[in-house]
Structure 1
Amino acid sequence: MAVAFETLEFDIDGVKTVVKAIGSGKPILFLHGASTLEGFDFAEGLADRFRVLAASHPGWGYSGDAPHIAGMADMVLHYLNLLDALDLAEKPHLMGFSMGGWMASELAGLARERFDKVVLVAPAGLNDPAHPATNLGALAPQDLPGYLAHDVTVALRYFPDGTDIVFAETFGADRAREGETLGRLLAPFGMGHPNLRRFLARITNPALVVWGTEDRLLPASQAPLWVEALPDARLLLVEDAGHFVMQEKPETLTRIGDFLAG
């Protein structure tokens, strides 16, 4: 059964911005990674206690094109403006996955007073040479699912299998569109910021870093670096899970929810 989301739409500086909302309770602003291929169905695992607001970044997913995007600073400004438009009755929690974790780090580092707790799930952005991320550009397309999930069947459910030509064509067009915006976002420094630790040092909010122990895309050996750089952080390592930790191990959402509710 498909997860039932409410669709909210905003005009943020001329960019159609779509937010998929589910649940009730204290809000969580969720920032997705470098692709929207896995969707937002994971949010059902938090919807019993929270109202999850899963926005598509400008140029990604359900949102409109954003040819002005030239770096992460533009995304941070966009989300500050979206927060103004949402006009929430209470401070939301902030949650970011992969590239969205990097985005959440810069956002919270600059505007920590706008958020309650922060959750970073397998965040990108530090680019520590001792703990290198996989170069996606060097991967053959057929190998990508094996880098996204430890149990490759979990990742494969989001990819075309050759039985639906329309889905395959849409999938390719969506990845090309998102990839074009991603290229502009990464133009200044690649997948991260050379001074990201300075942003992390400002995030005095209680923070949770979540990582799958078998992540082949962003190694779990990075996790202690994030915990050390954040003033008030704890670590949740999830055994036998890859980059798609929330999809592979849905019980992870309960543990994230316990942290946010505690």
Structure 2
Amino acid sequence: MTRTESLGQEHRVALEQGEVRYFERGSGRPVVFVHGVLTNADLWRAVVPGVADAGFRCLAPDLPLGSHDIPMRPDADLSPTGAADLIAGFLEALDLRDVILVANDTGGALTQIMLARHPERVDRVVLLPSDCFEYFFPPIFKPLPPLARVPGSMRVLAALLRLRALHGLPILFGWVAKRPLPPEVVESYLWPPGRSAGVRRDLRKLLRGVHPRHTLAAAEKLRDFDRPVLLLWGSEEKLFPIRLARRLAELLPDARLVEVDDTYTFISEDRPDVVVRHVVEFASVMAD
């Protein structure tokens, strides 16, 4: 299954920060899928077809988070707030309204920051296991921000990402997906930093700015976010403990938590059928 076939037609949109590639499939109310660091739209390849077939317009961008192929402008702000503004800019550039946002991992943190700054185009949100509160990043990935401040470190990181012996370790995919990822998907995630100095520059900008102050500040503002939020969280989650989801459910005025078994962080990889079912049910309530 290639990206074009599963995610839909490829498009590009010009934003303030640079050109962003995205994939679109289906028609109806817009559902925008947000991935995290060192993944891209491929994260949603097994989810988009089912949601689109249920009558929704699915859009999955390749955000500049390290696994994209189109570098942003050299002066682009890709700090966590800058990346959150880029997501808001994507919705604005395509004039998307009443959006259902579906976000995972770092993409969930950026979504929370975006909602705290630019919530106006969003109608409801589905958060899969994501950075939040003090977990930005989770403890195992805490060394990445200081590493990104070391000159030349992204070139070394890009070389390490290509070592297949590391792919199953917790520092890569061992704790995010319960089952091995297809080789072509791993390549689409991990090869771009090695191919492009611009991609490495974009990744470094994001990593250098990661700090819990961003997610903690967003959480305070989200106390007033009164639109519906569905929290889909793995009961076996290793990176983002279920207690974080419970805190989010208590914080958000209109939130519901659903625990999913037999999965880690990437529920769209381990249990795509569950993600499709819950997203469609949650989004369809709005349509009634």
TM-score bracket for this pair, using the shorter chain length: 0.7 to 0.9
CA distance in 2, matches of 1:249, 1:113: 31
Q: What does 1:100-179 correspond to in 2, within 5 Å?
A: 100-127=107-134, 133-135=139-141, 137=143, 141-142=166-167, 143=169, 144-150=172-178, 152-154=179-181, 158-159=185-186, 170=191, 173=194
State the 1:200 CA deviation: 2.0
Indicate how the Cα distance of structure 1 residues 169 and 87 shifts in structure 2: closer, same or farther if over 3 A, else same: closer
Q: Hey, what's the Cα distance between the residues in 2 that align with 1:216 and 1:64?
A: 32
* Secondary structure in 2 matching 1:80: helix
C-alpha deviation, 1:186, in angstroms: 3.5
TM (norm. structure 1) is 0.83
Partner AA of 1:15 in structure 2: G
Alpha-carbon shift at residue 123 of structure 1 (Å): 1.5
Q: CA deviation at 1:235?
A: 0.6
Equivalent in the alignment of 1:82: 90
Shift of 1:254: 1.0
- Once the 2 structures are TM-superposed, how far is the Cα of residue 32 of structure 1 from its aligned partner? 1.0
- Look up the SS of the partner of 1:24 in the other structure: coil
- Helix, strand or coil: the match of 2:223? helix
Partner of 1:6: 9
Superposition deviation, residue 66 in structure 1: 3.9
> Which one is further off, 136-145 or 29-38?
136-145
For 2:198 and 2:244, how far apart are their aligned partners in 1?
30
Once residues 176 and 36 of structure 2 are traced to their aligned partners in structure 1, the CA distance between those partners, rounded to angstroms, is: 12
AA paired with 2:77? I
Correspondence for 2:33: 30
SS in 2 for 1:134: helix
Quick one: structure 1 residues 100 and 66, their matched pair in 2 at CA, closer, same or farther if it must change by over 3 Å?
farther
2:40 is the counterpart of 1:40:
no
Residue 57 and residue 154 in structure 1: after superposition, are their counterparts in 2 closer, same or farther (change >3 A)? Answer: closer
| Residue ranges of structure 2 left out of the alignment (5+ in a row) | 145-159
C-alpha distance in 1 between matches for 2:222 and 2:189: 39
1:233 to partner: Cα distance? 0.3
Among 222, 238, 245, the alignment partner of 1:216 is 238
In 1, the alpha carbon distance for the partners of 2:241 and 2:31 equals 26
**1:176 Cα shift?**
7.9
Deviations 1:136-187 (A, max 9, x none): 759983412221212x324767336xxxxxx899456269865643332232
Q: For residues 18 and 118 of structure 1, what CA distance do their matches in structure 2 show?
A: 22
> Which letter maps to 1:182?
L
Aligned residue pairs total 253
Letter in 1 for 2:283: L
1:32 and 1:97 in contact (8 A); partners too = yes
Q: How far 1:117 moved relative to its partner?
A: 0.8
Structure 1 residue ranges without an equivalent (≥5): 161-166
State the identity %: 25
The structure in which a higher percent of residues are helix is: 2
Are the aligned partners of 1:11 and 1:17 in contact in 2 as well (CA < 8 Å)? yes
- Contact 2:132/2:244, CA 8 A, preserved across alignment: no
Structure 2 counterpart of 1:190: 211
Whole-angstrom CA distance in 1 between matches of 2:107 and 2:271: 19
Query: Cα gap change, 1:141/1:174 in structure 2, threshold over 3 Å: closer, same or farther?
Result: farther
**1:58: how far off?**
3.2
The corresponding residue for 2:226 is 204
TM-score by length of 2: 0.76
Structure 1 position 85, deviation (Å) = 1.6
Write the distance in 1 (CA, Å) between the matches of 2:38 and 2:15. Answer: 21
**CA 1:109/1:78 → structure 2, altered by over 3 Å: closer, same or farther?**
same
